[in-house]
Structure 1
Amino acid sequence: MTENFRPLTDEDINRLDELLATSNSGDDTFDVSMLDGFLSAIALLNPPLKEESEWYPYIFNEEGSDCEVDEPETVKRLVTQRLQEIRAFQAQRQFYNPIIFPLEDENGEPVTGADGIAALEPWAMGFYNALAQYSDRVDVTEAIEAQLCRIHRFLELDESDPDYEQNMAIRAAVEKEHPVRNLEEGMLEMMKGVIEIARLNLPNKPVSRTTPKVGRNDPCPCGSGKKYKNCCGKNA
């Protein structure tokens, strides 16, 4: 398999988020963080979805019905580009930066510490949306279930759910085993789960690179501006 991709820039991400907000499906359409979680789960499916029509319409509403959005060709290009990027990282079993918007307080300052971890919820929602829709394409063994818990922990639980108490007990066990103190640690915890699921659920095919292997002191290919060893390769 040959992977050739260009990571989305911050400008691309912000533009995509703006364009998704123009959808005539309103709040039913993912924001870019939910979209990123959705695409991350789509990339994990086995067998993969071969046709774009099998997943793309569900970005805009849960029925997958027709939807109008500004600059539809730009939206499709950026979405496809991000999916290619995610698939390349997953195939190489390398960490990548999930698209997360840190929370801000009433003064516009970033929310830090444990309170900031709530910013991961939209990404986790998008991820589980795809898993629920294509559950037949992920073999949820005990090993995969353990990794899914590392992502599920960031969802808001519904107290009216009959399994609420059971889910809370599972969450408490996960948080005890894998504690996180802030948003950055939460992002790393999610990515550990994603990459391990990729290892377990996707066939281990050799990757033919069209670009040289990223060195630990090279700029990270995610476009963050950091060295690879201090960014996506931090725990690789």
Structure 2
Amino acid sequence: MGEDDIVALEQLLDKVPAPLEPLDVSMLDGYLCAVLLQPIPLLPAQWLPYVTDIEARPLPPRYKPEALHALVLRRHQELKAAITERQWFDPWVFEMDDEATPSETVFPWVAGFALGADMFTALMGLSAADLLEPLATIYMHLDADDLEDADALLAEIETLEPPEDLSEAVEGLVRSCLQLADISRPQPKPVAEVPRRIARKQAPPAGPTPRKR
């Protein structure tokens, strides 16, 4: 999706009627990553309601979400392809003013990821030890008060160095998503080819040697 698509998506999200509280485009991007990293694929009907309202309240009858949903599903497919193939993708993280820290800049994306992980908990139900490092790299950008009952995660975050710049912070988000994909959506190992045995033609057994008379 190009820049024009992102602008169009942002405008459609802004037009979601009150009192619904839609995600912004950066939160949406993080949310979609958390949705795609669930070990069991989710149907659009399960996760789309949180795009137009963080509490998944029903849409008003007169509101037509088709254009919005079409753009969201396009981004979902883009991210799905990248994550499935373990390819780098550009998260929708947008620079703020010059005084903003890397963590402040990526915060909306991380908040969206956290929403998806909270609403759909199968990812977090996997081996905690395996999840710890990539989750810490993502959640280090949240306030510690937002991570209740997560002592192991907080302890892991304490061991990490804050990113020096936005580029490093973004790289950490993408790398962590691909690491989580290896845990929740492992790729099948290629089946080793069994070498064929070439059957050798054997000469027929020799008969008795005729006697000379």
State the TM-score, normalizing by the size of structure 2. 0.78
Q: Give the number of equivalent residue pairs.
A: 187
Aligned equivalents of 1:93, 1:158: Cα separation in 2: 32
What is the distance in 1 between the residues matched to 2:74 and 2:92?
Answer: 14
Residues in 2 aligned to 1:134 and 1:155: alpha-carbon distance in whole angstroms: 19
**Identity over aligned pairs, percent:** 26
CA contact (8 A) 2:102 2:169 kept: no
Match of 2:16 in 1: 23
Structure 1: distance between partners of 2:142 and 2:75: 23
The corresponding residue for 2:205 is none
Give the equivalent residue in structure 1 for 2:199. Answer: none
Offset of residue 200 of structure 1: 1.4
Report the alpha carbon displacement of residue 169 of structure 1 after superposing the two structures with TM. Answer: 4.5
**Corresponding residue of 2:139:** 152
Superposed counterparts of 1:173-212, under 5 Å: 173-175=159-161, 179-205=162-188
Q: Which residue of 1 aligns with 2:72?
A: 79
Q: CA deviation at 1:71?
A: 5.9
* Aligned residues of 1:153 and 1:171 also touching (Cα < 8 A): yes
Task: Say yes or no: does 1:14 pair with 2:7.
Answer: yes
| Deviation at residue 183 of structure 1 after TM alignment | 0.8
The Cα shift of 1:64 comes to 1.7
The structure with higher relative contact order (CA 8 Å, sep 6+) is 1
CA distance 1:77–1:183, change in 2 (3 Å)? same
Moved over 3 A (4+): 68-71, 161-170
Query: How big is the alpha-carbon RMSD for the aligned residues of Structure 1 and Structure 2?
Result: 2.5
For 1:116 and 1:144, the matched residues in 2 are separated by 23
Instruction: Provide the rounded CA distance (Å) in 2 between the counterparts of 1:133 and 1:164.
Output: 17
* Structure 2 Cα separation of the partners of residues 64 and 70 of structure 1: 15
Taking a change above 3 Å as real, the CA distance of residues 157 and 92 of structure 1, as seen in their structure-2 partners, is: same
Whichever of the two has the greater Rg, that structure is 2
Gaps of 5+ in 2: 190-213
Task: Tell me by how many angstroms 1:157 deviates.
Answer: 3.0
Whether the 8 Å CA contact 1:16–1:78 is kept in 2: the answer is yes
Select the residue among 51, 58, 69 that pairs with 1:59: 51
Q: 1:27 to 1:66 in 2, by over 3 A?
A: closer
One-letter amino acid of the counterpart of residue 200, structure 1: I
Return the alpha-carbon distance in structure 2 between the equivalents of residues 63 and 172 of structure 1: 31
Residue type of the alignment partner of 2:48: Y
What is the rounded CA distance, in whole Å, between the counterparts of 2:30 and 2:2 in structure 1? Answer: 17
